[in-house]
């Protein structure tokens, strides 16, 4: 509908609706990954899939080279075509979703136990057909659950603030810090290139591609280390290395020794690490709370992170100004680096070692029977 906009308010309205759907998707996909993927591979799969956002962003940026070129597509139609591409891809995803099984965990806690058993049997049969051997679950790992339709908000608050306050702290800090840094840089990089390095608006868009590639490569290359080295150490490492790279670039930026290319290289390196760390924030939130709250936990912390993400570009826009003074933006870069370092330290000291653990070993289901 945004592609059919006849006034700016109409565009804003339907972009808002689209944003609601995108926010819901973060909840759905992370919940599905964590509840279906085997524990030994949960970290790398979740981080890699979250990181593929940047593959889509790169494809979209490539399309814009043509769609936003008035010599190729009329000005009033190029951006509309871009909005129409999204629904076309969405229809494909809807078809693919039909082949993704519902989470047996969700089914068991919401009533349809027979469907849960059928899903598990089908998944196990497919795994055996692929030549893998499955071992029986030890008897001491069995749980009895009572189906629960919904969790009262009062109980949700109790879980967050009384039962798992450290996990709530880690989730809050990780989501806020990564969102602040990402939006601060991502939504102002064009202003930096144009105001401080003199790139033209038409050439600035080409600098996005290496930026996107660095963001895509980080989760794909580093993701498996979150399952082997461990969550806490890798979260700290990625957040800290991103902070260090940004701090070094701030010093060189203030000295005036960088150009548009070298500045972009520093951004690529910083977000190679930051992208893996940011993806692990969604993983951390979704796997460390009881399964009945998994989706809600992601939605709450994601929303809080977006508030921080909305503030960051406004701050950096003021710091950039007209591009006549590098001092304020240098301070902004140090601020972003410091915020990321804080996020990494909080995870290092307070996060839970969730790697290669069953979700039920990480947090008991709220629907667990007292007889278990």
Going from the C-alpha of 260 to that of each of 164, 179, 186, 197, the distances in angstroms are 45, 24, 15, 6
Most confident of 99-113, 195-209, 346-360: 346-360
Task: Write down the pLDDT at residue 248.
Answer: 96
Neighbours of 150 (CB within 10 A): 9
Of the candidate ranges 39-53, 137-151, 164-178, the one whose mean pLDDT is the lowest: 137-151
Domain assignments of the chain as residue spans, ordered by start:
2-99+152-356
Are the CB atoms for 276 and 218 separated by under 8 Å?
yes
- What is the rounded (10 degree) CA torsion for 224, 229, 234, 236? 180
Question: Which residues, other chains included, contact 312 with Cβ-Cβ below 8 Å and sequence gap of 6+?
Answer: 179, 180, 181, 182, 183, 184, 187, 336
Q: Is the pLDDT of residue 351 over 80?
A: yes
Stated as kind and residue range, the H or E segment containing 240 is helix 231-255
Predicted confidence band at 124 (pLDDT cuts at 50, 70, 90)?
A: confident
Hunting for tokens 């001092």 — which residue is that?
327
Residue 45 and residue 30: Cα distance in Å, rounded?
10
Nearest Cα residue to 290 out of 40, 105, 26, 104: 105
pLDDT band at 197; cut points 50, 70, 90? very high
The CATH number of the structural domain formed by 2-99+152-356 is: 1.20.1250.20
d(Cα 161, Cα 11) in Å, to the nearest integer?
39
pTM of the full structure? 0.87
Is 322 exposed, middle or buried (CB count within 10 Å of its CB: 0-12, 13-18, 19+)? exposed
| Dihedral in degrees, nearest 10, Cα atoms 171, 174, 178, 180 | 80
- Mean pLDDT over all residues of the chain? 86
Residues in CB range of 370: below 8 A, 6 or more apart: none
């Amino acid at each position: 509908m945004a592609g059919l906009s006849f006034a700016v308010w109409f565009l804003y309205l339907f972009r808002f609706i689209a944003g609601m759907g995108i926010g819901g998707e973060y909840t759905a996909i992370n919940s599905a990954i964590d509840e279906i993927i085997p524990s030994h591979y949960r970290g790398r799969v979740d981080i890699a899939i979250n990181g593929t956002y940047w593959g889509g962003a790169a494809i979209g940026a490539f399309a814009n080279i043509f769609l936003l070129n008035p010599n190729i597509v009329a000005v009033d139609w190029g951006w509309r075509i871009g909005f129409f591409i999204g629904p076309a891809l969405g229809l494909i995803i809807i078809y693919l979703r039909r082949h993704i099984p519902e989470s047996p965990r969700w089914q068991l806690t919401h009533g349809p136990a027979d469907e849960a058993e059928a899903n598990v049997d089908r998944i196990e049969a497919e795994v055996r057909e692929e030549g893998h051997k499955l071992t029986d679950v030890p008897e001491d790992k069995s749980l009895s659950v009572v189906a629960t339709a919904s969790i009262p908000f009062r109980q949700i608050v109790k879980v967050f603030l009384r039962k798992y306050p450290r996990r709530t702290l880690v989730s809050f800090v990780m989501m806020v810090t990564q969102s602040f840094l990402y939006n601060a840089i991502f939504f102002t990089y064009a202003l930096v290139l144009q105001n401080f390095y003199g790139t033209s608006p038409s050439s600035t868009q080409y600098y996005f591609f290496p930026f996107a590639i660095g963001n895509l490569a980080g989760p794909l290359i580093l993701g498996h280390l979150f399952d082997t080295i461990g969550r806490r150490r890798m979260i700290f490492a990625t957040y800290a290395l991103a902070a260090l790279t940004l701090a070094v670039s701030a010093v060189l930026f203030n000295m005036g020794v960088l150009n548009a290319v070298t500045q972009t290289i520093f951004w690529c390196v910083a977000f190679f690490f930051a992208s893996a760390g940011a993806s692990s924030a969604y993983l951390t939130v979704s796997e460390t709370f009881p399964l009945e709250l998994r989706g809600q936990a992601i939605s709450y912390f994601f929303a809080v992170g977006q508030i921080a993400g909305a503030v960051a570009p406004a701050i950096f826009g003021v710091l950039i100004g007209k591009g006549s003074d590098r001092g304020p933006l240098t301070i902004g870069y140090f601020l972003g680096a410091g915020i990321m370092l804080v996020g990494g330290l909080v995870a290092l000291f307070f996060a839970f070692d969730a790697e290669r653990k069953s979700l039920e070993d990480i947090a008991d289901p709220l629907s667990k029977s007292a007889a278990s």
